[in-house]
């Protein structure tokens, strides 16, 4: 007997028919003698429409109330699935974050998990129930309801896996695994049998939307295997674990990703002295704005610097507002921003030691007449900021160069 944690995404519980399919799958595992915990997301489209509703009422909805509203989506799914399991003759109980004491920080709409009380879950499992738990939500020490950020149900599932020492967490979605590129952009993208945590984190951080990055961080920390697979068939998906597919000495490139919803801000003519970058980025961090690529360039004779950074589109206007304030405070010359930029990334362990690969990436973009605006390189990721309209062309060219022999 094993403890199995399964998470089903929104498309897997989109309607009654799909919920019943999930109930059948869950019961198959349960009837084999396993303890099963199921984490579900809101039905497809529900969270989006709840957000829309809030923004129809206000341009700046109160974040506490936003969380109260958004968590209702997952509650539809847990109750529905529990009903469907019982209809098929199984025993199930739905539980929300409050009932389980799933503790988070009080950062509404992007709360971090603090600790999870496993007693209520264990007690219900021991009574023979399938436990159906609401993803995405949490509770603060003052009993306020929070959410973990968009896509957070994956993180709920893996965090439960860590708290209950599960060996593997299955994440069921509408794709059957992790591909070398988005199959909608590259028709001969290949499904990976396995991938390392590091590579998966890079893929997720640079645009692959298959897994919530924080779920991978937790999995890596606690050594939990994630099996990402489709709820629409029985095929094996991709295993995310400490080591992925291997190849001895070649720079192993495992994927090309892109992300469109990015914006770039430039603070120009900043004084060139210690503490300026610290001030800029600590101010942004205080407003919980995540920056991605950062570039500082110095103008040699004027003793001034320009700092450019990219953020998610959602954060762009807020970041511009903060940068305008920083401009005054630090005596910078100007703030400019661009909305329609995109990032294309090549991911693979060994990129750093295989320096010729980096040059080949830039060559490939040049051959395709794609201009590079910003570059960032790490041990396993080379990312370029380019024009949004060039992004599909860039992904196809790089995939063809590095992943299609």
Q: Applying CB under 6 A, which residues contact ligand ASP?
A: 10, 41-42, 47, 73, 135-136, 150-153
Q: Rounded to an integer, what is the distance from CA 310 to the centroid of its chain?
A: 17
Shortest distance, CB of residue 209 to ligand ASP, whole angstroms?
11
What is the smallest separation between the CB atom of 39 and ligand ASP, expressed in angstroms?
Answer: 9
The partner in contact with residue 150, picked from ligand ASP, Mg ion, none with C-beta cut-offs of 5 to 8 angstroms by kind, is ligand ASP
Q: How far is the CB of 132 from ligand ASP (least distance, A)?
A: 15
The DSSP result for 68-121, as a single string, is HHHHHHHHHHHHHHHHHHHHTT--EEEE-HHHHTEEE-S-TTS--EEEE--HHH
Do residues 132 and 85 make contact, with C-beta atoms less than 8 angstroms apart? yes
Distance of closest approach, residue 70 Cβ to ligand ASP, in angstroms:
7
- Which of Mg ion, ligand ASP, none does residue 327 bind to, with CB < 5 to 8 Å depending on kind? none
Nearest residue (CB) to ligand ASP, 211 versus 289? 211
244 touches which of ligand ASP, Mg ion, none (CB within 5 to 8 A by kind)? none
129 binds, among ligand ASP, Mg ion, none (CB under 5 to 8 A by kind): none
The token pair at 316 is: 């762009």
Nearest residue (CB) to ligand ASP, 66 versus 384: 66
* Residues 6 or more apart whose Cβ sits within 8 Å of residue 265: 308, 309, 310, 311, 316, 319, 320, 323, 335, 336, 337
Shortest Å distance, C-beta 77 to ligand ASP: 9
Nearest to 195 by CA among 252, 154, 147: 252
- The number of angstroms, rounded, from the C-alpha of 116 to the middle of its chain's C-alpha atoms is 21
Q: Which of Mg ion, ligand ASP, none has residue 73 at its interface (CB below 5 to 8 Å by kind)?
A: ligand ASP
Radius of gyration in angstroms for the set of CA atoms belonging to the chain, rounded to a whole number? 23
Q: How is 191-212 classified by DSSP, letter by letter?
A: B-SEEEHHHHHHHHHTT--SS-
In the complex with Mg ion, which residue's Cβ is closer, 25 or 252? 25
Per CB under 5 A, residues contacting Mg ion are: 9, 41, 151
DSSP lists the bridge partners of residue 310 as 264
User: 179 contacts which partner out of ligand ASP, Mg ion, none, CB within 5 to 8 A by kind?
Assistant: none
CB closer to ligand ASP out of 38 and 332: 38
Query: Between 77 and 357, whose beta carbon lies closer to ligand ASP?
Result: 77
DSSP symbols for 342-365: EEEEEE-TTTTT-HHHHHHHHHHH
Q: How far is the CB of 41 from Mg ion (least distance, A)?
A: 5
């Amino acid at each position: 007997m094993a403890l199995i944690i399964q998470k089903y995404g929104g498309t897997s519980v989109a309607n009654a028919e799909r919920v019943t399919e999930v109930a059948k799958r869950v019961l198959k595992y349960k009837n084999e003698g396993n303890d099963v915990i199921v984490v579900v997301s809101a039905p497809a489209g529900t969270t989006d429409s709840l957000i829309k509703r809030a923004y129809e009422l206000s341009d700046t909805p109160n974040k506490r109330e936003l969380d109260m509203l958004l968590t209702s989506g997952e509650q539809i799914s847990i109750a529905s699935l529990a009903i469907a399991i019982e209809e098929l003759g199984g025993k199930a109980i739905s539980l929300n974050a409050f009932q389980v004491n799933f503790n988070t920080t009080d950062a509404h709409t992007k709360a971090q998990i603090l600790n999870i009380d496993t007693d209520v879950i264990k007690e219900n499992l021991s009574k023979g129930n399938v436990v159906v738990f609401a993803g995405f939500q949490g509770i603060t020490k003052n009993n306020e309801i929070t959410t973990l950020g968009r896509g957070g149900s994956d993180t709920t599932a893996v965090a439960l896996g860590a708290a209950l020492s599960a060996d593997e967490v299955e994440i069921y979605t509408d794709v059957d695994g992790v591909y070398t590129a988005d199959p909608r952009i590259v028709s001969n993208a290949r499904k990976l049998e396995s991938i390392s945590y590091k590579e998966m984190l890079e893929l997720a951080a640079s645009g692959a939307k298959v897994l919530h990055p924080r779920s991978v961080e937790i999995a890596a920390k606690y050594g939990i295997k994630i099996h990402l697979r489709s709820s629409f068939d029985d095929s094996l998906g991709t295993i995310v674990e400490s080591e992925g597919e291997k190849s001895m000495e070649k720079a192993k490139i495992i994927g090309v990703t892109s992300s469109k919803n990015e914006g770039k801000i430039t603070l120009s003519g900043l004084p060139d002295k210690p503490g300026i970058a610290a001030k800029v980025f600590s101010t942004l961090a205080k407003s919980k704005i995540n920056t991605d690529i950062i570039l500082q360039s110095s103008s040699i004779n004027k003793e001034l610097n320009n700092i450019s950074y990219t953020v998610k589109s959602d954060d762009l206007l807020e970041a511009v507002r903060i940068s305008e304030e920083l401009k005054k405070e630090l005596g910078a010359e100007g703030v400019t921003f661009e909305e329609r930029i995109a990032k294309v990334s090549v991911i693979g362990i060994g990129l750093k030691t295989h320096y010729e690969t980096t040059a080949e990436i830039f060559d490939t973009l040049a051959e395709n007449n794609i201009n590079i605006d910003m570059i960032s390189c790490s041990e396993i990721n080379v990312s370029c900021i380019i024009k949004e309209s060039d992004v599909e062309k860039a992904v196809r060219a790089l995939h063809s160069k590095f992943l299609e022999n």
